[in-house]
Structure 1
Amino acid sequence: MLLSASPQYRPVSLDASTRIVRALADRGYNADREAVTLLASASDPQAAIERALETVPDGTVVVTADHVKEAVDTPANGPKSAGSSQPTETDESGQSDDSQHPPISTGDSHDQPTDSRDGVPVETKGSENDARGSDFRDRDSTSSGRSPVEPELSGDIQSTGTGEYDDFVSVFRNRYEKLAAQLRGRVNHRPTDAVAEMSGNSDAAIIGMVSDIRSTASGHWLVELEDTNGTFPCLVMKDRDFADDVQTLLYDEVIAVEGSLADDAGILFVDTMHFPDVPRTYTPSTADRPVEAALVSDVHVGSEEFRADAWQRFADWLHTPEAESVEYLLVGGDMVEGVGVYPDQDEELDIVDIYDQYEAFSEHLKDVPGDMEIVMIPGNHDAVRLAEPQPAFDEELRDIMSAHDARITANPSMVTVEGVSVLMYHGTSFDEIIAELPDEHASYENPEGTMAQLLRKRHVAPQYGGMTRIAPEEEDHLVIEEVPDILHTGHIHKLGYGTYHNVLTINSSCWQAQTDFQKSVNLEPDVGYAPIVDLQTLDLTIRQFV
């Protein structure tokens, strides 16, 4: 609700309100908008805070206007009023543009041959015009009538792997069984040893894990597939209309092929290739009320290049009336810069102790409205094992990051928010996938293309033994068993979004300016963008806070 709708109180500056909210947060309290206004209007706000906190009953979390009125003397008729107005959005030239910020649905650039920027969200400046132009909104759920539902988490793990040979066998067998189950309804397949016993020229189908890919002297593709019974060679002729799909194959992913055996039955000529994929008819779930979620990643607190100013503008904006429906914050990993992640990183650190980095991150998290539901997963810069899946933080780090009772789970994890399933994956496998596949299928400038590959393969880290470290567990937690409504990733510090078979894909940007290391690898990061998803419509708006 706008402050102009409450004429009994005089307007106070956003900076004053910010100081009040932070002072209360430091003491473990939230406050409703009216209480903040009263405290900021007092002649001595600091003393008013102390008196108000002395009056609140034990166990109180939200300071209300009644608590403040009991402790602070106010004029009989209330403070004098003055009008205020909602900030007007402007374009880059400074001209007013009332239509600049409507939520706009992303276009399905992978299903239709349209320009990749048609129908994508409008990018908006969320700093001076948004966060500084109006006072904090009421984030107290009891007075605003809003109460975010606690997200459901699925995917947190306890590591069981010992590094023994049997663990590797177990995880790959589990991967095969999970992905083969998604393909069995499409092909009448037989095990590789049974296909090897068939007569020449017979029709056959195989579901297998890619164990080898190579081109022939004639330019055809020879793909060797492995199942639990053995291996079998499959030939994709270069003139097939799906021959380009072979260029997107990665070792260790699971596919199905159909075709006919050669005269001697020693090779299968492929007529059709199937990926586990997301059904084209998939219909995502949506919330049953107007509610939004902010999806961010790669904060990198502790780096000299951490953009604290941008994060503060984002946090301030979350307190404004314009962000009233943003009730969830999903953080996709790399909360801190970490220590020893890349060569000479210590020369680029502002905070050199990893625990101090998490303490600082927790302080920045306190600037977010206290009634928001927050979910976080680790990333490759965080203080967890590098091998995926990454278990959630240990108890010591959880205690440090306890602001607002944030929920912490593994990487990856499925998080259900208001009935909408969000697959949160930090995205470390992007580096390997981008290195292996042609640019038109995966690149740093096209994160949504890489995300489409993950969904098509139904696995967030298909290839083993390369740049992506994968831990041997009893089961493969990296398989995308259930189709998510949203896939949320980060890691590569580039903003990207799109849809793939009706799944909304979002790769968040970062909150860290370019480091010397990033310059050395020619990475120009996208900084300070916050994707905001309307969970009722899955429309997406991109806001920038730098």
Structure 2
Amino acid sequence: MELTERGYNADREAITLIAGTDDPHATIEAVVEHVPADTLCITSDHIRATIESDPSVSTGSDRSRNTPNREGSPVETKGSEKSDTEREESGSTPGSEPTSGPASTSEPESSPQPKSESQPEPRADPDTSDRPASVDRQSLEVANDMTGHSTGTGEYADFVRTFRDRYERLSKILRGRVNHRPASAIAEMPGGSDAAMIGLVNDVRSTRSGHWLVELEDTTGTFPALIMKDKGIADVVDEILLDECIAVDGTLADDAGILFADAVHFPDVPRTFQPSYADRHVQAALISDVHVGSQEFMRDAWESFADWLHTEDASAVEYLLLAGDMVEGVGVYPDQDEELDIVDIYEQYERFSEHLKSVPGDLEIVMIPGNHDAVRLAEPQPAFDEELRDLMSAHDSRIVSNPAAVTVEGVSVLMYHGVSLDEVIAELPADKASYDDPHKAMYHLLKKRHVAPQFGGHTRVAPEERDHLVIEDVPEVFHTGHVHKLGWGKYHNVLAVNSGCWQEQTDFQKSVNIDPDCGFAPILDLDTLDMTVRKFA
């Protein structure tokens, strides 16, 4: 940057203000002339003082926090401090249809959404001068960004290492619950013995008598467990997915060839889990699936959201966590080109970056990729390459891998785009997982302590030395997108949020019966883990 070449450092907000002027180069020249000779770091105060004293420096349109909301101002919806049980008792269900049930307090005010954004009006970088001076208190860490650390070559041995790592880490969670033995040791035990085994699910099939045979595999071999249809544990059989790690305990048959199961254990989140909280009042906006480049991208709704972030009502929002699908992409589904407003993938990211500039410059922004983004489809997905990072450099966003464990002000947020939700919803009964209640499908991922437990289905998994998809540490918040549905609720004190989308229904979505929840922004209080959903469309 020019300031660095002149021997100066600059804080984040100062850079944002410089970029928002009509001629950043002229602004830098003016700033250098105005600052004291002993200045080492250019601050936002220096920039503002220069703008006020030098008429040659123009900042374009004023979009400060005190600007009144335009038509399309957000409608606040209910929070999610209640558990699912409490919601059912009170007659409200998280994730229910937001425009017809109690999730909306009134019909939103909105102007018709344009079908094309090919000639957007120029939008200057925002003035953040009246945001509270709490930026120096912001705290954000990413624990497991695997970008640049991919080890997979596609060899058979890579897959073996991935599943061995999955078994070792998840079995550690289960070992405190059962007195397990390896498959090879169980095979040597006498008939009638009590036994327990921890393993990856190799097969699940029903018998002629209506019972279920579950074959488990560990590092020593395989062993079958029989779950009788009249056992109380029979109702969990339809929750078991191939390749997940579970424990089964029971009694060996007289010939010791099979284990009659008395209990099935999932790694799960402990019911005693106590979340951590931020030590001050601060909020994070959780969004996903913006889909810039689609003819159905909701530009007006996005601008309403950006405008709201500049109001006093949003003064506590200091973080923006975006869970994938920033752009619509190219060639993602059949005949997608017919629904594109921008057909070049790089132009899509350039346009997305322009839209991102309309949010306050002092927001800490974290983004992970999704299945529409220009990264590999197999999970874990490394973050974007340098060329795309340069295109999305607005506000110095943190761009990390999918999934990512992000700690914000002491609150752990597991961000995962959510492709495996399709698989969970397809495999589990409708009363346990559905698109109408996406957070309930998320509960099962928490229960399995893995964001994509089943291999070889809809979700593509890349072999790595370490299984980056294991949920080793319990998060306070689990944030996903992908399914374009709004839903949230608490599971063992973990807040699960699927944040909807910013794309109206496409022809392709109509063909597969996807009715999206559009233009919502869940706003999370990091000091209480309460949540309010705001509607901008």
**How does the TM-score come out when normalised to structure 1?**
0.82
**Among 378, 381, 384, the residue aligned to 1:390:** 381
Q: Which residue of 2 aligns with 1:153?
A: 142
| Distance apart, 1:150 and its partner CA | 4.2
The answer to whether structure 1 residue 421 and structure 2 residue 412 are counterparts is yes
**Among 98, 106, 128, the residue aligned to 2:81:** 106
| Distance apart, 1:303 and its partner CA | 0.5
Report the 3-state secondary structure (helix = DSSP H, G, I; strand = E; otherwise coil) of the residue aligned with 1:242: helix
For 1:91 and 1:473, the matched residues in 2 are separated by: 46
Q: Which residue of 1 aligns with 2:478?
A: 487
| Contact map agreement 1:307 1:511 (CA 8 A) in 2 | yes
Report the 3-state secondary structure (helix = DSSP H, G, I; strand = E; otherwise coil) of the residue aligned with 2:201: strand
For 2:132 and 2:530, the matched residues in 1 are separated by: 27
Q: Which residue of 2 aligns with 1:270?
A: 261
For 1:90 and 1:29, the matched residues in 2 are separated by: 25
**Among 516, 534, 541, the residue aligned to 2:507:** 516
Report the 3-state secondary structure (helix = DSSP H, G, I; strand = E; otherwise coil) of the residue aligned with 2:19: coil
Q: 1:268 to 1:330 in 2, by over 3 A?
A: same
The answer to whether structure 1 residue 342 and structure 2 residue 321 are counterparts is no
Within-5 A mapping of 1:71-110: 71=54, 101=76, 104-109=79-84
Q: Point out the more displaced range, 156-165 or 317-326.
A: 156-165
The answer to whether structure 1 residue 463 and structure 2 residue 454 are counterparts is yes
For 1:142 and 1:85, the matched residues in 2 are separated by: 13
| Contact map agreement 1:148 1:328 (CA 8 A) in 2 | no
**Among 204, 214, 228, the residue aligned to 1:237:** 228
Letter in 2 for 1:70: S
Q: 1:189 to 1:436 in 2, by over 3 A?
A: same
| Distance apart, 1:110 and its partner CA | 6.6
For 1:314 and 1:56, the matched residues in 2 are separated by: 32
**Among 531, 539, 543, the residue aligned to 2:530:** 539
Show CA shifts across 1:76-96 (max 9, x none). Answer: xxxxxxxx999899999xxxx
Show CA shifts across 1:396-428 (max 9, x none). Answer: 111110000000100001000000000000001
The answer to whether structure 1 residue 226 and structure 2 residue 226 are counterparts is no
| Distance apart, 1:116 and its partner CA | 7.4
For 1:477 and 1:28, the matched residues in 2 are separated by: 37
| Contact map agreement 1:127 1:317 (CA 8 A) in 2 | no
| Contact map agreement 1:124 1:542 (CA 8 A) in 2 | no
For 2:347 and 2:439, the matched residues in 1 are separated by: 34
Q: Point out the more displaced range, 112-121 or 318-327.
A: 112-121
| Distance apart, 1:107 and its partner CA | 2.1
Q: 1:284 to 1:154 in 2, by over 3 A?
A: same
For 1:229 and 1:510, the matched residues in 2 are separated by: 45
**Among 35, 41, 44, the residue aligned to 1:62:** 44
For 1:202 and 1:194, the matched residues in 2 are separated by: 12
For 1:393 and 1:85, the matched residues in 2 are separated by: 35
Within-5 A mapping of 1:368-407: 368-407=359-398
For 1:254 and 1:523, the matched residues in 2 are separated by: 31
Q: Which residue of 2 aligns with 1:355?
A: 346
Q: Point out the more displaced range, 205-214 or 108-117.
A: 108-117
Show CA shifts across 1:172-191 (max 9, x none). Answer: 11111111010001100000
Report the 3-state secondary structure (helix = DSSP H, G, I; strand = E; otherwise coil) of the residue aligned with 1:427: coil
Letter in 2 for 1:413: A
For 1:113 and 1:314, the matched residues in 2 are separated by: 30
Report the 3-state secondary structure (helix = DSSP H, G, I; strand = E; otherwise coil) of the residue aligned with 1:343: coil
| Distance apart, 1:56 and its partner CA | 2.9
The answer to whether structure 1 residue 325 and structure 2 residue 316 are counterparts is yes
Letter in 1 for 2:54: A
For 2:69 and 2:131, the matched residues in 1 are separated by: 26
| Distance apart, 1:50 and its partner CA | 11
Show CA shifts across 1:124-149 (max 9, x none). Answer: 679769xxxxxx99844886344352
| Contact map agreement 1:126 1:313 (CA 8 A) in 2 | no
The answer to whether structure 1 residue 117 and structure 2 residue 106 are counterparts is no
Q: 1:221 to 1:112 in 2, by over 3 A?
A: farther
| Distance apart, 1:106 and its partner CA | 2.9
Q: 1:61 to 1:340 in 2, by over 3 A?
A: farther
| Distance apart, 1:434 and its partner CA | 1.0
Q: Point out the more displaced range, 378-387 or 139-148.
A: 139-148
Report the 3-state secondary structure (helix = DSSP H, G, I; strand = E; otherwise coil) of the residue aligned with 1:260: strand
| Contact map agreement 2:67 2:310 (CA 8 A) in 1 | no
Letter in 2 for 1:242: I
For 2:231 and 2:208, the matched residues in 1 are separated by: 17
Show CA shifts across 1:6-57 (max 9, x none). Answer: xxxxxxxxxxxxxxxxxx9685149xxxxxxxxxxxxxxx89x999876434
For 1:160 and 1:265, the matched residues in 2 are separated by: 41
Q: 1:110 to 1:103 in 2, by over 3 A?
A: closer
| Distance apart, 1:460 and its partner CA | 0.4
For 1:52 and 1:208, the matched residues in 2 are separated by: 63
Letter in 2 for 1:221: W
- Identity percentage over the alignment? 61
For 2:427 and 2:340, the matched residues in 1 are separated by: 32
| Contact map agreement 1:148 1:373 (CA 8 A) in 2 | no
| Distance apart, 1:163 and its partner CA | 0.6
Within-5 A mapping of 1:2-13: none
Q: Which residue of 2 aligns with 1:367?
A: 358
| Contact map agreement 1:137 1:321 (CA 8 A) in 2 | no
Q: 1:29 to 1:124 in 2, by over 3 A?
A: farther
| Contact map agreement 2:87 2:93 (CA 8 A) in 1 | no
Q: Which residue of 1 aligns with 2:426?
A: 435
For 1:155 and 1:126, the matched residues in 2 are separated by: 41
Any stretches of 5+ residues in structure 2 without a counterpart? 1-14, 36-40, 57-65, 96-101, 111-124
| Contact map agreement 2:77 2:535 (CA 8 A) in 1 | no
Letter in 1 for 2:50: H
| Contact map agreement 2:207 2:213 (CA 8 A) in 1 | yes
Report the 3-state secondary structure (helix = DSSP H, G, I; strand = E; otherwise coil) of the residue aligned with 1:144: coil
The answer to whether structure 1 residue 527 and structure 2 residue 518 are counterparts is yes
| Contact map agreement 2:487 2:499 (CA 8 A) in 1 | yes
Q: 1:232 to 1:344 in 2, by over 3 A?
A: same
Q: Point out the more displaced range, 485-494 or 261-270.
A: 261-270
| Contact map agreement 2:350 2:392 (CA 8 A) in 1 | yes
Within-5 A mapping of 1:179-328: 179-328=170-319
| Contact map agreement 2:72 2:108 (CA 8 A) in 1 | no
Report the 3-state secondary structure (helix = DSSP H, G, I; strand = E; otherwise coil) of the residue aligned with 2:502: coil
**How does the TM-score come out when normalised to structure 2?**
0.84
For 1:458 and 1:124, the matched residues in 2 are separated by: 35
The answer to whether structure 1 residue 476 and structure 2 residue 495 are counterparts is no
Letter in 2 for 1:144: A
